[in-house]
């Protein structure tokens, strides 16, 4: 249902008014080993809707690793540029799946692709995308940056800066923040409440790839790493609750 003048505006009650949500393609698999798991996509869409209902303007970037990962294809002998373009197309498929789930919930959504495919997605035009956000539409940016050799982490950071987002939310499955080592393999792993961009790079903490972290650091864009599989986690952080790690300067 579109916003009307008599609907409440919660934007003053939340910490951020415009955010980027970055999730991996694997987050959409559920318990499957491949592809999209519709109940999982619907669950994530409901999390996005609860934040959207608070008046927050939302951008999204979804990886494509549940369908095809360019770097993996390259490692198996495929030409890297071709493999990366295949990975970009996988992100478009995921974006369309998320768009369908969100619109089933009544949230107007636009898929915006860095590679032109006008029959299924809008081309990326910055001013048009900003206008969609101002009209309270969720914008899902697909096909990465449109260039090989760049990850969806970098694409998310680039688009977040272009859209003037106030933070990037990194949704992780099974992890409630950034640790000094893999908590799934080390029982003594320590979680950070706050960590600097430089420490992430120096200690090679698994948050984003180095180019994405450097881009966030250079533009002073905070990263918030939180558990995507915790019900209400996304909304809770915007209300100042929950467990998460903030990466900042």
Binding-site annotation, residues for UMP: 64, 84, 145-152
Can you give 216-235 as a three-state secondary structure string? Answer: HHHCCCCEEEEECCCCCHHH
Return binding residues. Answer: 22-25, 64-65, 69, 84, 145-152, 173, 179, 182
CA 179 to chain centre: 20
Evaluate whether 66 touches 25 at the Cβ level (below 8 Å).
yes
Identify the helix (H) or strand (E) that includes residue 77. none
Residue that is written with structure tokens 């864009």 in the block: 221
Q: What residues form the annotated binding site for ATP? A: 22-25, 65, 69, 173, 179, 182
What's the Cα-to-Cα distance from 140 to each of 32, 59, 100, 195, 238, rounded to whole Å? 23, 6, 11, 28, 20
Question: What string of H, E and C letters represents the secondary structure of 146-185?
Answer: CCCCCCHHHHHHHHHHHCCCCEEEEEECCCCCEECCCCCC
| Percent helix / strand / coil, the chain, rounded to 5 | 40, 20, 45
- Could you please report the per-residue DSSP string of 181-219? S-TTT-TT--EESEEEHHHHHHTT-SSS-HHHHHHHHHT
Q: Which candidate, 163, 165, 175, places its Cα nearest to that of 24? A: 175
Task: Choose among 83, 129, 89, 102: nearest CA to 41.
Answer: 102
């Amino acid at each position: 249902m579109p916003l009307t003048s008599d609907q409440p505006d919660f934007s003053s009650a939340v910490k951020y008014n415009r955010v980027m949500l970055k999730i991996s393609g694997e987050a959409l698999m559920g318990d499957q080993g491949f592809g999209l798991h519709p109940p999982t996509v619907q669950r994530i869409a409901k999390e996005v809707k609860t934040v959207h209902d608070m008046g927050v303007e939302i951008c999204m970037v979804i990886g494509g690793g549940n369908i095809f990962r360019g770097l993996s294809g390259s490692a198996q002998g495929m030409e890297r540029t071709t493999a990366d373009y295949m990975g970009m197309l996988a992100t478009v498929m995921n974006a369309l799946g998320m768009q369908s789930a969100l619109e089933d919930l009544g949230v107007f959504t636009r898929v915006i692709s860095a590679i032109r495919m006008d029959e299924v997605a809008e081309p990326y035009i910055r001013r048009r995308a900003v206008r969609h956000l101002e009209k309270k539409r969720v914008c899902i940016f697909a096909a990465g940056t449109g260039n090989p050799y760049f990850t969806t982490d970098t694409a998310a950071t680039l688009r977040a800066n272009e859209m003037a987002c106030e933070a990037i939310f990194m949704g992780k499955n099974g992890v409630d923040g950034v640790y000094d080592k893999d908590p799934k393999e080390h029982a003594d792993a320590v979680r950070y409440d706050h960590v600097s961009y430089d420490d992430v790079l120096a200690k090679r903490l698994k948050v984003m790839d180095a180019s994405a972290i450097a881009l966030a650091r250079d533009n002073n864009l905070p990263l918030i790493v939180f558990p995507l599989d915790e019900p209400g986690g996304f909304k809770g952080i915007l209300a100042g609750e929950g467990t998460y790690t903030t990466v900042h300067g």
